[in-house]
Each structure stands twice: as C-alpha cells, then as structure tokens.
C-alpha cells in the first residue's frame, strides 16, 4: 500500500531459501491487486526493518544444508528509494530472472545426476553377484548407458541455454527445456543409481538415496515440470503465430 513518501508492506511468503540467514531480501508485493500477477512491484527490504521477520522453519525431504523458511511482513515501511524497478513491473522482471535461474537449476540437476551416475558406475564394477561384477549384466550396463546418454543430453541443453544467455539472447524456451529435461534425466539417473546399489541403495549407508531426495527439488523449484511444459508450449505456439505472414522472428532480443 502506498503511504505518503513510501510504501507499507504486509503479508507472508512461504518457501524462502536462506530465509533465516539472509540480510537483504527482494520482496514482490501486490501494488495493483486488480491486475493480479501483472500488478506486482519489487522492493528491497533489509533484515532488522520493523515488522519484518522470519516465520517458521520448513522441514524438507532433502537439501538439508539449505535453509527454507517463511517470511512475515507486518506493516513494514519502506521509502520509495527501496523500490526495485518500475511500479507493477515486478512480474515481468521476475520472468527475465527466471530465464537465467532455470539454467542454473538445470546445471545443478546435471551435477547431482553426475554424482549418482559416478557412484553407480563405481559400485557396479565392485559388486560381485553370481560370480561376476554386476556391470557385466546387460540389465545393469543398459541402465548405465541410459544414465550417461540422458545426462549428456541434459548437459548440452544447459550449455546451449548458458551460451545463449552469454550472447544476450532471449532464452525463455531454451531455459525451460534445459531445466525440464535435466530435472527428469536426473531423477531417472538417481532412481537407477539406487536400483544398481540394490538393498544398500535404500539405506543411509550410501549417498545415492540422498541424491534422489535432493534432486526432486529440480522438478519443483523455479517452476514445476508442468509449468515448464506450459512455458515451452506457449513459446512454440508464439513462434508459430509470429511466423504467420512469412516474417521469421530472430531469436535474439534485449
């Protein structure tokens, strides 16, 4: 809400990464509720500002090293100088940030998948059953082949998106493709890594069960798989409709 020389912010937001340890926060607040998500404005709020506090800590299935909490704002007063960007442009600015962030989540997912793959490869060469290392069973070798193939593809999609970002190209579709594919490839790789470890895979004695619990966030955070598919489809149809009439749309933009 607008005050004389600034803004008064009230509300709460769940699922904030590093919510209890951050010092400076970017808050997206509704400044024109009738415009729904198109009426959001971003503000910088510092820890210690009256009315601003960390809410409950959220226990998660994985990523235990990362803090996740609620944030609570009760009539938090901020001057207009702490507004970040234009009024009611917060949603659009956030979408641009997500184009970058999703490539980061894709890279993070590839990293967990790689750890799972390397653990599975090592274990399959060491574990002997029926007189030979389990890597010699075709069923196990094929699982390793699938993991390596899908993780390679995921890595290349992430590199494509990152390279395009470096060239200042618009990557809305490529970022979602990379994140969506990498998240799925990693979940499949982690699941196979547990399978290859047999009973030990289901225990806390090996890291592969943790990889699976950590990797799951890649299918949810910064937009779920379902939301990525929505974005990809929207971009595909937008390209198609923009091309009607013969004008090819360059994929570069500011």
Ligand X SMILES: Cc1cc2nc3c(=O)[nH]c(=O)nc-3n(C[C@H](O)[C@H](O)[C@H](O)COP(=O)(O)OP(=O)(O)OC[C@H]3O[C@@H](n4cnc5c(N)ncnc54)[C@H](O)[C@@H]3O)c2cc1C
DSSP string, 64-111: TTS-EEEEEEEEEEEEGGGEESSTT-HHHHHHHHHHHHHHHHHHHHHH
Return the number of the residue (172 or 192) whose C-beta is nearest ligand X.
Answer: 172
Return the number of the residue (140 or 231) whose C-beta is nearest ligand X.
Answer: 231
Return the number of the residue (26 or 169) whose C-beta is nearest ligand X.
Answer: 26
48-to-21, 43, 45, 83, 115 alpha-carbon distances in Å: 12, 15, 9, 18, 40
Residue 198 is given by DSSP the state: G
User: Which residues contact ligand X (rule: CB under 6 A)?
Assistant: 15-17, 60, 63, 68, 217, 220-224, 226-227, 230
Least separation in angstroms between CB 92 and ligand X: 16
At residue 167's C-alpha, the angle toward residues 165 and 170, to 5°, is: 50
Least separation in angstroms between CB 26 and ligand X: 9
Q: Are 173 and 233 in contact (CB under 8 A)?
A: no
CA distance 49 to 51: 6
Beta strand pairing call for 132-133 and 128-129 = antiparallel
Least separation in angstroms between CB 214 and ligand X: 10
One of 70, 222, 226, 242 is an active-site residue; which one? 222
Active-site residue flag, 222: yes
Least separation in angstroms between CB 185 and ligand X: 18
Length of the chain: 254
Return the number of the residue (6 or 62) whose C-beta is nearest ligand X.
Answer: 62
Annotated catalytic residues are 222
């Amino acid at each position: 809400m607008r005050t004389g020389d600034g803004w008064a912010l009230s509300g709460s937001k769940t699922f904030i990464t590093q919510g209890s340890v951050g010092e400076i926060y970017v808050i997206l607040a509704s400044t024109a509720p009738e415009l729904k998500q198109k009426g959001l404005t971003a503000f910088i709020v510092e820890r210690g500002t009256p009315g601003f506090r960390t809410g409950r800590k959220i226990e998660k299935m994985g990523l235990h090293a990362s803090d996740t909490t609620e944030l609570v704002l009760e009539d938090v007063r901020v001057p207009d100088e702490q507004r970040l960007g234009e009024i009611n442009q917060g949603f659009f600015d956030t979408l641009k940030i997500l184009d970058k962030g999703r490539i980061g989540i894709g890279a993070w997912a590839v990293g967990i998948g790689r750890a799972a793959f390397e653990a599975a490869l090592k274990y399959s060469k060491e574990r002997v059953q029926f007189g030979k290392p389990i890597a010699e069973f075709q069923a196990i070798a094929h699982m390793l082949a699938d993991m390596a193939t899908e993780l390679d593809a995921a890595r290349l999609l992430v590199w494509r998106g990152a390279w395009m970002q470096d060239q200042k190209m618009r990557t809305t579709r490529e970022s979602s493709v990379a994140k969506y594919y990498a998240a799925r490839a990693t979940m499949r790789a982690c699941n196979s890594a547990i399978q290859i470890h047999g009973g030990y895979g289901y225990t806390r004695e090996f890291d592969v069960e943790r990889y699976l619990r950590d990797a799951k966030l890649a299918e949810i955070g910064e937009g779920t798989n379902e939301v990525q598919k929505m974005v990809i489809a929207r971009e595909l149809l937008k390209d198609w409709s923009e091309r009607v009439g013969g004008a090819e749309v360059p994929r570069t933009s500011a």
